[in-house]
Amino acid sequence: MVQLLTELIKRLRKTSPTDRQVLALFSASILLLTGLTVMWLATSTRSAMLAAELEMLEARHAQLTNAINTLWSEIGEITSPQAMHERARAAGYRPAARIEFIGTSTTDSSEALHRSP
Amino acid sequence: MQHSPISEARLQVFSSTIALLMLLAVARSVQVQIIDSPRYANVAARQQLETVHISAPRGIIFDRRGSPLAVSKIGYLLRANPRALTDVMTTSAVIASAIGQPAERIQQRLEAIIRDQGNLTPTLSSIVVYNLPLEKAIDVARGLRQSGREGIQIEEYWMRVYPSGQLAGPLLGFVNLEPAGYVGVEGYYNQQLSALVGLRQGRAKLELQTISPSERGSDVILTIDSELQNFAEKRLQRALEESGARSGVVIVMETTSGAILASASAPGFDPNRALEIASQGGLELLTDPAVSSPYEPGSVIKPMTWAIAIDTGRVSATSILTDSGRLEVYGKRIFNSDRQTHGTVTVEDVLALSLNVPTARMAMELGPETFYAYMQNFGFGSITGVDLAGESTGVLRTPRNVEWSRIDLATNSFGQGLSATPYQVLNAFNAIANDGMLMQPYVVHEWRRPDGDNIRRQPVQARRVISKQTARIMRQLLAKATRRATPEALLPGYPVAGKTGTANWYRAGVKQKTTIVTYVGTLPADSPRLTILVKLDEPTVSPWAAVTTVPVFRDVAAYAVRLLGIPPQSPP
């Protein structure tokens, strides 16, 4: 490989300066083109990867939203008055026959607090 | 070599033609490349662009305690492609066995779709089945693949689920497959609840794509208390069974704010089954009569008439009136409902005995201008502004209407010849309960945007209808009248100010023997916290409101004061 390159350089030295310039220009163009192609491929690959990741995240987001909403739906079923009543009755609870209200006065209690040692 | 003159001329013609063609080509290329370039670029982009819609769920509807009443979950639907359907019988059998429905039903649906698609303007949706869970959708896909049948497409979408079933169905409304909300909260708040559909656009995945993100809809929190709603619905259902009534409404309103705590309509509907009901032709069942069905309210309007009389200084709480038992207005005779003459009476007597004649006479004294100005201020003839879709204005004819006659003034005073929705009647009565201030009723008190912003609604005072003093006098009179006329409405420790109303039922404009009965009341009468309306249509056991609606009022009121912790005003 090294011999081949050495031979190539030797031959190039023997050619006219105009030919060398043409060749240099041609080589530079090829290099630039290759560089651009590599850059385009890298960007495209990155875009494709991002697009795939985005799709995956969207799907995951939809799954999670669905999981959250399914849980809300289950909470809704469990906390619906009908279900709550059935469970409360099964647990032995009954509606109170009578509710007692105790009259309180905030002024009295604050005074009482002040009076307490 | 010599050129002939003809050939020289030919050459010139040929050259000119070539030059002209070249000019045309250049001109055309300038047109395509420069002038029309944006249009062609646009068409090309459209051909090459791939657009993906990114859906998101509708917002959740919660009750005031945070219990979810409407949620969106991922569901699946089956769509038929009639051109690709080859074996309807086998396809129906495969779908039916996967989803557990009769094959005949699926087959009928597929055949109907095929027939309809053959028409010039197809009207039938190509959806065969909807609201399928993931497992069933997988079963269908597997079955169709194994049988090698084509023409059925499985689509994913956000389906609406109402976890509490029929609870508050008419109030919540329903959602179609689009999804767009109809009736009630779903209809009124469709814009807020709806999700923003996102888009992803690009020519290929190897290129950068334009993305507009999707956004879920806002959640809304209702003023409705599920516990109270459940009780109101059950009690209303029991009332229908006991009274033989065809339908009914119970509404509980927080007096000072106008917040609706419960709004029950029977027969209601399960919003989970709304599309099925609609497809079976029951679209008229998918409404909320509390807000969209005006009726002739009857004597529950009398408190408003007497409030006007007191507010304008025509009478006072102690005024003595004369009841002649009969009044003739422009050839029409008006009687009291008991057909009796009561002689000297007070306003309290008029309210307790629900006398039509002194009420009509008072309206005539007030005059149409004053009476209708007040009635319009009470909200009759216009919507209450409650945030529920499909609200009706009812009908209040005034002297400006050509159909109006002076007899209307007399009959309107006791609630006949006009129509109002249960919400209008409740809201007008609530103005008396709320020291003369008319509130705008509401069912949503907050909505939460997906970006975390919370928008909380404040109670809206619509306008002052009567003075505070008049409202207090009216409550005292109504409380005394309630103790005398409908003691069944009273709760130990909670004075009630209420009024019954009975009106005839009309079918296709013809008066029927059956009635519509209403009771509207507020408690505690001294400083009201709750205003409740109960309405029953065509009860068969009794035509009177006192027998049919008052017990419902009492039970709902007793449950509400307990649930909301409203202490009694006096030791029971």
B503 forms bridges with which residues in the sheet? B516
Interface contact A58, partner B, CB < 8 A? yes
Report residue A12 as tokens: 């190039």
CA B161 to chain CA centroid, nearest Å? 18
**Which of A48, A58, A96 is opposite residue B205, by nearest beta carbon?**
A48
Burial of B337 (0-12, 13-18, 19+ CB in 10 A): middle
Query: Pairing mode, if any, of strands B68-80 and B127-132?
Result: antiparallel
Structure tokens at B171: 């109030």
Q: Can you give the pLDDT at residue B164? A: 94
| Interface check B216 vs A, CB under 8 A | yes
B71: nearest CB among A54, A72, A81 = A72
The pLDDT assigned to B416 comes to 93
| Strands of B60-188, DSSP E | 61-62, 68-80, 127-132, 152-161, 174-175, 181-182
Q: Domain boundaries in chain A?
A: 2-90
SS (H, E, C) B32-50: HHHHCHHHHHHHHHHHHCE
Closest to A81 (Cβ–Cβ): which among B73, B211, B227?
Answer: B227
Beta strands in B183-305 (DSSP E): 198-202, 210-212, 219-222, 247-254, 260-266
Q: What pLDDT is stored for residue B73 in this prediction?
A: 93
**Chain A residues closer than 8 Å to B164 by CB:** 76-77, 80-82
Residue A10 has pLDDT above 60, yes or no: yes
In the predicted model, is pLDDT for residue A110 greater than 80? no
| Residue ranges of A 35-54 with Cβ closer than 8 A to chain B | 44-45, 47-48, 51-52, 54
B541, B242 Cβ separation under 8 angstroms: yes
pLDDT for residue B4: 55
Crossing angle of helices B88-99/B134-147, nearest 10°?
A: 150
Q: How far is CA B54 from CA B85, B156, B159, B203, in A?
A: 29, 11, 15, 17
A17 beta partners: none
Chain A residue numbers with beta carbons less than 8 Å from the beta carbon of B450 are none
List the structure tokens of B102: 């009769």
Alpha-carbon span B353 to B379, nearest angstrom? 26
Beta strand pairing call for B61-62 and B219-222: parallel
Strand-pair partners of B320 = B346
Copy the structure tokens of residue B301. 């309007």
Give the one of B165, B206, B568 whose C-beta lies nearest to A44's C-beta: B206
**Among B59, B82, B79, residue whose Cα is nearest residue B69:** B59
Contacts of B444 (CB under 8 A, 6+ apart): B185, B189, B220, B221, B222, B223, B387, B457
In total, the C-beta contacts within 8 angstroms joining chain A to chain B are 77
Contacts A81 to B, Cβ<8 Å: 164, 167, 226-227, 229-231
pLDDT in tens, chain B (572 residues): 455 556 777 778 888 888 899 999 999 889 888 888 888 888 877 777 778 888 899 999 999 999 999 999 999 999 998 888 888 889 999 999 999 989 998 999 898 888 887 777 767 778 899 999 999 999 999 999 998 888 899 999 999 999 999 999 999 999 998 889 999 999 999 999 999 988 887 776 566 677 788 899 999 999 999 999 999 999 999 999 999 999 999 999 999 999 999 999 999 999 999 998 998 888 888 999 999 999 999 999 999 999 999 999 999 999 999 999 999 988 889 999 889 999 999 999 999 999 999 999 999 999 999 999 999 999 999 999 999 999 999 999 999 999 999 899 999 999 999 999 999 999 999 999 999 999 999 999 999 999 889 999 999 999 999 999 999 999 999 999 999 999 999 998 899 999 999 988 877 777 788 899 999 999 999 999 999 999 999 999 988 888 899 999 999 999 999 999 898 876 54
Residue A111 has pLDDT above 50, yes or no: no
pTM comes to 0.84
Q: What is the pLDDT of residue A30?
A: 94
User: Is A99's pLDDT higher than 90?
Assistant: no
Would the pLDDT of A117 be above 50? no
CB contact at 8 A, B521 and B479:
no
Which comes out higher in pLDDT, residue B119 or A70? A70
Task: Give me the interface pTM, i.e. the ipTM.
Answer: 0.77
Q: Does B208 touch chain A (CB under 8 A)?
A: yes
| Distance from C-alpha of B300 to C-alpha of B413, rounded to nearest angstrom | 10
Tell me if B497 sits within 8 A of B212, measured CB to CB. Answer: no
